[in-house]
A and B are shown apart, each in its own frame.
Chain A
Amino acid sequence: MSAEPVPLPDTAPPVIELLDVAKTYRGGSLEVHALADANLRIERGEYVAVMGPSGSGKSTLMNILGCLDVPSAGTYLLAGQDVSAMDEDELAEVRNRRIGFVFQQFNLLPSLTAWRNVELPLAYAGVPRAQRRERAVAALQRVGLGDRLDHKPSELSGGQQGRVAVARALVGEPDLILADEPTGNLDSVSSAEVLGLFAELHQAGRTIVLITHDQDIAVAAERVIRIHDGRIAADSAAAADRPWAYGGVS
């Protein structure tokens, strides 16, 4: 129990609010409950790690948080907006403006240079060309790749590719950054690069949710959520520290 005063909640809505969210897959007569009774609240500026064994439902959770998948039940409020009932066009807009993804395999387009990869979300947002170039360059400089603007992914090291992926996630100034095992394919040096970047972003006030299986990485986050068998099993933001947080405790 900390002796410091508990910070008061700010008046902005939480970035993420899951209310009784469930995801069920039906295959014939078989029902798979990938996620059940998920209640979660993540405030602006938090740095959260989501951990769990494979098959635990953490990918399902990430997909729902990232609006790549729609819950079977329950409500998902992203920055106060109910996204659980949106159609594909609206979801695309949410993914574009409010969320920045960093995928495990980075998913950079191999035929495009670094800055063309980074500008892609802006192109889909309808931002004019000159501005896109400016902002992409700024994002790449922010991650320390200002001298690699015209390199293709194949000309970059693993860590550099990871940084390009982060720059792309940032460029649209999203409310939320989601990263799915971003260091999964990297060596320790490159992993350190990328994690260092996340730490900087957290310092700057960004909201980050990170999936990882690596305990060492989870340490860097200030909050750890554990998932097991489709349920949120533990949340280090225990009720005692954060009275307003919903934490499903098994």
Chain B
Amino acid sequence: MNWFDTIRTGLEAIRAHRLRSGLTVLGILIGIAAVILTVGLGQGAQQQVKSQVEALGTNLLIISPGSSTGTGGVRGGFGSASTLTQADADALSSRVVAPDIEAVASTTQSSRTLQAGSSNWTTTVIGTQPSWLGVRARKLSSGRFLSAADQNTAATVTVLGDSTATELFGPIDPVGQTVTIGSKPFTVIGVLTASGSTGNANNDDQALIPMSTAQQRVFGGTTRSAVQTIYVQATSADTLSAAYQEAQNELLVLHGSGTAANADFTITTQDSLVTAANSVNRTLTILLAGIAAISLFVGGIGVMNIMLVSVTERVREIGLRKALGARPRVIRRQFLVEASVLGLAGGILGAAVGVIGSEVLPPLISNPITLSVPATVAALVVAAAIGLGFGVYPATRAARLAPIDALRSD
């Protein structure tokens, strides 16, 4: 019997028992959809982290105080007592010291309440330098950014993030208006465009003031001369590692730390940020996908179970076919086709459910789902293979039936 007829016979057998075939397909469908969606969830979360980190800027190094690896005498944890100063930032800005560094922006931030007329809003107030706009790759929607003059005079000027501006001033253009920061009056000189990046609303809810103003007039205490973070932009992606070295060497000298192991600061690249932030995501993805794979395996056992039942029920039919001249391998092929089609159907429908789910679910669960074409295709292949693999035992049993026993049974 040629392949076309074998396949047709297999399909007819599936159609003859629609409910049972449907339930078997359902098992595989659920397994495949689960694998596709859990992997998609994991990818979505990882993708989201990546976008958030990319929104920080390009070719960026982030220098924070405190060591993550130090073995020296006095150590601070990540972000503890600030050992970075504006002098550090100024040193790194020099083209002589660090030719591969394009720009440097130091920041210090704290939470403050802003007041404008009758509205007030608590937000993050960030003291920074004019270079911040370029280093962080942001744009203005109106007004101007902080200038060197503002820095020199510790001017009481501020640039608002888009959300903050809306909260305080509604639809009115805030430029030129007065806003109180920590009970001191500031003039709004500009508003940032909405960052438009995925999920990180903090980028739009902030107020930027000159570093000097922050240190002298707004933030008090021991942090007066200290700086919380220094953003360093390398001249290009290729020079990033060179910039890393230059920054590290310069700061080691300035801080007198000696070797890198004793550094009281940490330099982080965007890539390592992504990796660190995603390590939990990756583990979870693997775990969930593993569980989904187990459910798929169970679906495969369902295929085998149903095929065995099918063989037992159709013993007479098998006996008849053999009596008419069907060779054992032809019978085996017929049942393998049935099992494979069940698996493939489950795969296709499961993939469809996965695709639909990836569109419909994210708003409901507040998590993105990213699908990949190769993963979906692989799922289809696996589903068909599972059908085939779990069909081998039943098909072989059918092929081995002695026609006379088969015809005798009821």
Interface residues of chain A, those whose CB is within 8 Å of chain B, are: 63, 66, 68-69, 88-89, 92-93, 95-97, 101, 103, 107, 109, 111-112, 120-121, 123-126, 129, 168, 172
Q: Chain B: which residue is nearest A97 at the CB level?
A: B325
With A63-B404, A109-B317, A124-B1 already in contact, the answer to whether A101 and B12 are too (CB < 8 A) is: no
Judging by beta carbons under 8 Å apart, are B325 and A95 in contact? yes
**Docked CA distance A103–B324 (Å):** 11
Judging by beta carbons under 8 Å apart, are B320 and A107 in contact? yes
| Interface CB pairs A-B, < 8 A, 12 | A63-B404, A68-B323, A68-B404, A68-B407, A92-B325, A92-B328, A95-B324, A107-B316, A107-B320, A107-B407, A126-B2, A129-B5
* Highest count of chain B CB atoms <10 Å: which of A63, A69, A120, A123: A123
With A63-B404, A69-B404 already in contact, the answer to whether A124 and B326 are too (CB < 8 A) is: yes
Judging by beta carbons under 8 Å apart, are B317 and A92 in contact? no
Judging by beta carbons under 8 Å apart, are B324 and A124 in contact? yes
With A63-B404, A68-B407, A109-B317 already in contact, the answer to whether A101 and B324 are too (CB < 8 A) is: yes
Interface SS of B by simple majority: helix
A93 touches which of B12, B321, B325 (Cβ 8 Å): B325
Nearest chain B CB to A171's CB is how many angstroms away? 10
Which residues of B are found within 8 Å of A66, using beta-carbon distances?
323
Interface residues of chain B, those whose CB is within 8 Å of chain A, are: 1-2, 5, 12, 16, 316-317, 320-328, 330, 403-404, 407
- A sample of 7 more A-B contacts (CB under 8 A), given A101-B324, A124-B1, A126-B1, is A95-B325, A111-B12, A112-B12, A121-B324, A124-B326, A124-B330, A125-B325
Which residues of A are found within 8 Å of B12, using beta-carbon distances?
111-112
Which residues of A are found within 8 Å of B2, using beta-carbon distances?
126
**Docked CA distance A107–B326 (Å):** 15
Judging by beta carbons under 8 Å apart, are B407 and A124 in contact? no
**Docked CA distance A126–B326 (Å):** 11
**Docked CA distance A231–B320 (Å):** 28
Judging by beta carbons under 8 Å apart, are A103 and B407 in contact? yes
With A107-B316, A124-B330 already in contact, the answer to whether A101 and B323 are too (CB < 8 A) is: yes
With A68-B404, A107-B316, A111-B16 already in contact, the answer to whether A120 and B327 are too (CB < 8 A) is: no
* Highest count of chain A CB atoms <10 Å: which of B323, B404, B407: B323
Judging by beta carbons under 8 Å apart, are B404 and A88 in contact? no
Which residues of A are found within 8 Å of B330, using beta-carbon distances?
124
Q: Chain B: which residue is nearest A100 at the CB level?
A: B324
With A88-B327, A126-B2 already in contact, the answer to whether A120 and B407 are too (CB < 8 A) is: no
With A111-B12, A123-B5 already in contact, the answer to whether A92 and B407 are too (CB < 8 A) is: no
**Docked CA distance A125–B316 (Å):** 20
Q: Chain A: which residue is nearest B325 at the CB level?
A: A96
With A123-B1, A123-B5 already in contact, the answer to whether A68 and B403 are too (CB < 8 A) is: yes
Judging by beta carbons under 8 Å apart, are A88 and B328 in contact? yes
**Docked CA distance A96–B323 (Å):** 8
* Highest count of chain A CB atoms <10 Å: which of B317, B330, B403: B403
Nearest chain A CB to B131's CB is how many angstroms away? 79
**Docked CA distance A88–B401 (Å):** 11
With A68-B404, A68-B407, A103-B407 already in contact, the answer to whether A120 and B324 are too (CB < 8 A) is: yes
A92 touches which of B16, B316, B322 (Cβ 8 Å): B322
Judging by beta carbons under 8 Å apart, are B328 and A89 in contact? yes
Which residues of B are found within 8 Å of A129, using beta-carbon distances?
5
**Docked CA distance A3–B322 (Å):** 47
Q: Chain B: which residue is nearest A106 at the CB level?
A: B320
Judging by beta carbons under 8 Å apart, are B325 and A121 in contact? yes
Judging by beta carbons under 8 Å apart, are B404 and A124 in contact? no
Judging by beta carbons under 8 Å apart, are B404 and A92 in contact? no
Q: Chain B: which residue is nearest A88 at the CB level?
A: B328
Q: Chain A: which residue is nearest B322 at the CB level?
A: A92
Judging by beta carbons under 8 Å apart, are B317 and A95 in contact? no
Which residues of A are found within 8 Å of B5, using beta-carbon distances?
123, 129
Q: Chain B: which residue is nearest A68 at the CB level?
A: B404
Judging by beta carbons under 8 Å apart, are A92 and B326 in contact? yes
Which residues of A are found within 8 Å of B407, using beta-carbon distances?
68, 103, 107
**Docked CA distance A101–B323 (Å):** 8
User: Top 10 closest A-B pairs, CB basis?
Assistant: A96-B325, A124-B325, A68-B404, A92-B327, A107-B320, A121-B324, A69-B404, A124-B326, A111-B16, A95-B325
**Docked CA distance A245–B327 (Å):** 34
Which residues of A are found within 8 Å of B404, using beta-carbon distances?
63, 68-69
Judging by beta carbons under 8 Å apart, are B327 and A89 in contact? yes
* Highest count of chain B CB atoms <10 Å: which of A69, A92, A101, A121: A92
Nearest chain B CB to A62's CB is how many angstroms away? 10
Nearest chain A CB to B93's CB is how many angstroms away? 83
**Docked CA distance A109–B319 (Å):** 12
With A68-B407, A103-B407, A126-B1 already in contact, the answer to whether A120 and B323 are too (CB < 8 A) is: no
Nearest chain A CB to B68's CB is how many angstroms away? 71
Nearest chain A CB to B322's CB is how many angstroms away? 6
**Docked CA distance A92–B16 (Å):** 26
Nearest chain B CB to A25's CB is how many angstroms away? 12
A120 touches which of B316, B321, B328, B403 (Cβ 8 Å): B321
Q: Chain A: which residue is nearest B9 at the CB level?
A: A123
Q: Chain A: which residue is nearest B12 at the CB level?
A: A111
**Docked CA distance A68–B324 (Å):** 10
**Docked CA distance A165–B407 (Å):** 15
